[in-house]
Structure 1
Amino acid sequence: MIPVFDGHNDFLQRVAAAGPQAARLWLEGDDQGHMDLPRLKAGGMVGGFFAIWVPSPAGLTDHAAVHAMENPPFDLPLPPAIHPDAALPHAFAQAAALLALERTGTLDIVRDAAGLRATIAAGRIAAIMHMEGAEAISDPDALHLWHRAGLRSLGPVWSRPTQYGHGVPFAHPSSPDRGKALTPQGRTLVQTCNALGIMLDLSHLNEAGFNDVARLSDAPLVASHSGVHALCESSRNLTDRQLRQIADSGGLVGLNFASSFLRPDGRRLPLEDLGVMIRHLDHLLAILGEEGVALGSDFDGALMPRDLPDVAALPRLIDAMRGAGYGEALIRKIACDNWIGLLERTWWG
């Protein structure tokens, strides 16, 4: 089985909600959501980015929003910003949930490239602590504290504004060129992340902010869970110009499995043909090359394709790559090795 290292999941929300049953949820599963340890093992997943994310008071699951996303065109308003004092308890709870998983002895929170490789070799799940939206980080001192706690990947925004920058709204059809550039605090955040070796994630960031990170950062540009705008005109997807900038930096894009970012019509309905995912991968490979393309599922955070309902179904995607003529070496790069190589170029050690 080809191993998979995944660029993004939202499993920690389920773990935090499980409370005292968190370890059991992880070790035994509950037939809910997209992930747990038995299904990770069945699907060949050896590790990934475990996201800390603060929910908006009114989310994208209310009836009106879901109806709009099922029937494009739509352009949902950005949720309001969340103050750090309100965000911090959510972030702490999810970080504590990841630590609880580590205490089971089946998962390690990895902090450097050597630890990442050692954990995978030992047969444990290699978890990168990622923060999707920096609401809980009030200032550079707080970022240093989170780094000490294990944070190694950070998206300055989710799809709402923070003190650092602006996210794209959920819209189709739409350009990602929505909203303002990074704030002065955002520019400082980029520099501090570079100094600490924290990977900056451009998924959800608007085009003006993307341009600022490309100008300011001395690390490879990364979008952990995004798709191709030329194939699906979602505001969340990347234009060919953005893809070329990522390629020029030696960076990487993890393909998002979310059906609405894959389907040409942008509808929030299950993708019915994994061949559409292959077309996104083909497009990414044509611009980024074989070392610049990976996977970024968004498990437990998005509506999955019909034939890829959870992590245990990952071999179906591997088989689809084989059916499209991808060789075993290229499949392994996309599934696992490219993320590890990117982190070795971004982190220290």
Structure 2
Amino acid sequence: MSRLIIDAHLDLAMNALEWNRDLSKSLTEVRQRELHMKDKPDRGKGTVCLPELRKGKVGLVVATQISRVSQPGSTSPGWNSPQQAWAMTQAQLSWYREMEAMGEMVQISNLSALTKHISLWSDETIDDDEKPIGYILSLEGADSLVNIDYLYKAHEYGLRAIGLSHFGGGRYAPGTRMEGPIHGQGLELLKEMAKLNMILDVTHLTDEGFEQAIQIYDGPIWASHHNVRKIVPNQRQLKDSQIKRLIDRGAVIGGMLDCWAMDIRFIDTVSDPWQLNIRLEHLVDHWDHICQLAGNSLHIGIGSDLDGIFGTEQSPWDMDSVADLQKFEAILLRRGYSNTDIDNIFNKNWLRFIEKAWEEH
């Protein structure tokens, strides 16, 4: 019997609206619709849809809203105003609501809903194909919050986690491939997030921003999709000192499956996962490293980031769809992990974190 999986980072609404993918359809149908499209490098190579999530028993996900603001002169894609970016996040929210109306998904925003949903996915008398995918709403990059008042609007509709930054410059904090501290309005945002007991996602922060966030923010902190800098030495990954700080805060770190974040040899749009033999097992090397620092398996989980502007061309070659996350069970057993460890990684660590965060509010 497959174990329940929680995936702490999937850009579902972005794929539905900006890639125009009908995620309620089968993966074969989604790929076939893109057979002759060349506008994006991952056309016809997507790995995620709602039927595949059910097939892989990925019954609960942290699903994003994502919409950046592009500063004048920036080469990073994005909207030209915060208002446009906010409108895009509202379109993404609308898509999640449509999936709820279809019975495909259900929003999880409090402890009672979480308990009910986990109970449903534990019920073996109901076929997994008949169960909705639960989603906890997260904002990847805070650019779209026009001002602090919009944080409260977002919390009202169920937003429960926020990462201040994404790639490049940001209105609230600089992100990946940048340097520098969290901006003044980012520090104000953190104060208001703490009042609402929202989860702070430190993924994509600069090293300086990470240190500020750890020192300033007294609410729950996680790293939804982050690998290890000792193995892949670039600023996007976590240093050992950062991992230790997260462990001390009771955080969970979600391992991501973008090949460049797993193996330093991989170069976007150039390398081939098969030629470099980059497999799912490569992520276990990152998990191993964190477990050695922690002395246990209580601080790692899955935050796959699958179809986060990449598909099979940039994923482990032994993974065709998100359902293949179940392959980690055999890999982990072979690597000496116990059944308790695997339960922790697949779902227990994220569940304990969320329950603790929401019980204390």
TM-score range, shorter chain: 0.7 to 0.9
Q: Which residue of 1 aligns with 2:232?
A: 232
After TM superposition, the structure 1 = structure 2 runs for residues 63-74 of structure 1, keeping only pairs within 5 Å, are: none
Pairing partner for 2:302 from 295, 306, 317: 295
8 Å CA contact 2:197, 2:220 repeated in 1: no
**Identity level (%):** 24
Q: Which residue of 2 aligns with 1:15?
A: 16
CA pair 79-37 structure 1, distance change in 2 beyond 3 A: closer
- Distance in 1 (alpha carbons) for counterparts of 2:285 and 2:355: 28
- Distance in 2 (alpha carbons) for counterparts of 1:113 and 1:255: 25
Q: Does residue 253 of structure 2 align to residue 242 of structure 1? A: no
Q: Which residue of 1 aligns with 2:50?
A: 37
Q: Which residue of 1 aligns with 2:321?
A: 310
Which deviates further from its counterpart, 232-241 or 306-315? 306-315
Q: The residue matched to 1:235 in structure 2 has which SS?
A: coil
Q: Does residue 96 of structure 2 align to residue 98 of structure 1? A: yes
- Distance in 1 (alpha carbons) for counterparts of 2:49 and 2:299: 28
Q: Which residue of 2 aligns with 1:191?
A: 191
Q: Deviations over 1:116-136 (max 9, x none)?
A: 121232243210111111111
Please state how far the C-alpha of 1:56 moved relative to its aligned partner. Answer: 7.2
Q: Does residue 293 of structure 2 align to residue 282 of structure 1? A: no
Q: The residue matched to 2:223 in structure 1 has which SS?
A: strand
- Distance in 2 (alpha carbons) for counterparts of 1:232 and 1:261: 7
Aligned length: 321
Q: Does residue 327 of structure 2 align to residue 321 of structure 1? A: no
Q: The residue matched to 1:86 in structure 2 has which SS?
A: helix
Please state how far the C-alpha of 1:142 moved relative to its aligned partner. Answer: 0.5
Q: Does residue 161 of structure 2 align to residue 153 of structure 1? A: yes
Pairing partner for 1:87 from 77, 85, 88: 85
Which deviates further from its counterpart, 114-123 or 297-306? 114-123
Q: Which amino acid aligns with 1:290?
A: S
Q: The residue matched to 1:118 in structure 2 has which SS?
A: helix
Q: Does residue 50 of structure 2 align to residue 52 of structure 1? A: no
Q: Which residue of 1 aligns with 2:144?
A: 136
Q: Which residue of 1 aligns with 2:5?
A: 4
- Distance in 2 (alpha carbons) for counterparts of 1:135 and 1:43: 33
Q: Which residue of 2 aligns with 1:26?
A: 24
Q: Deviations over 1:294-318 (max 9, x none)?
A: 1100011132111123211112122
- Distance in 1 (alpha carbons) for counterparts of 2:280 and 2:26: 29
Q: Does residue 174 of structure 2 align to residue 166 of structure 1? A: yes
CA RMSD across the alignment: 2.3
* Unmatched tracts of structure 1, length 5 or more: 59-75, 170-177
Q: Deviations over 1:4-32 (max 9, x none)?
A: 1001011212222487x84xx31544343
Please state how far the C-alpha of 1:81 moved relative to its aligned partner. Answer: 8.2
Q: The residue matched to 1:180 in structure 2 has which SS?
A: coil
Please state how far the C-alpha of 1:82 moved relative to its aligned partner. Answer: 5.1
Q: The residue matched to 2:135 in structure 1 has which SS?
A: strand
- Distance in 1 (alpha carbons) for counterparts of 2:107 and 2:173: 28
Q: Which residue of 1 aligns with 2:40?
A: none
Please state how far the C-alpha of 1:145 moved relative to its aligned partner. Answer: 0.3
Please state how far the C-alpha of 1:196 moved relative to its aligned partner. Answer: 0.8
Q: Which residue of 2 aligns with 1:73?
A: none
8 Å CA contact 1:226, 1:254 repeated in 2: yes
Q: Which residue of 1 aligns with 2:111?
A: 113
Q: The residue matched to 1:197 in structure 2 has which SS?
A: coil
- Distance in 1 (alpha carbons) for counterparts of 2:75 and 2:227: 21
Q: Which residue of 2 aligns with 1:174?
A: none
- Distance in 2 (alpha carbons) for counterparts of 1:82 and 1:336: 39
8 Å CA contact 1:224, 1:296 repeated in 2: yes
- Distance in 1 (alpha carbons) for counterparts of 2:203 and 2:211: 13
Q: Deviations over 1:151-175 (max 9, x none)?
A: 0111111112222111022xxxxxx
Please state how far the C-alpha of 1:267 moved relative to its aligned partner. Answer: 2.6
Please state how far the C-alpha of 1:276 moved relative to its aligned partner. Answer: 1.7
Q: The residue matched to 1:225 in structure 2 has which SS?
A: coil
TM-score between the two structures when normalised by the length of structure 2 = 0.83
After TM superposition, the structure 1 = structure 2 runs for residues 173-188 of structure 1, keeping only pairs within 5 Å, are: 178-188=178-188
CA pair 254-47 structure 1, distance change in 2 beyond 3 A: same
- Distance in 1 (alpha carbons) for counterparts of 2:315 and 2:111: 30
Q: Which amino acid aligns with 2:238?
A: L
8 Å CA contact 2:25, 2:49 repeated in 1: yes
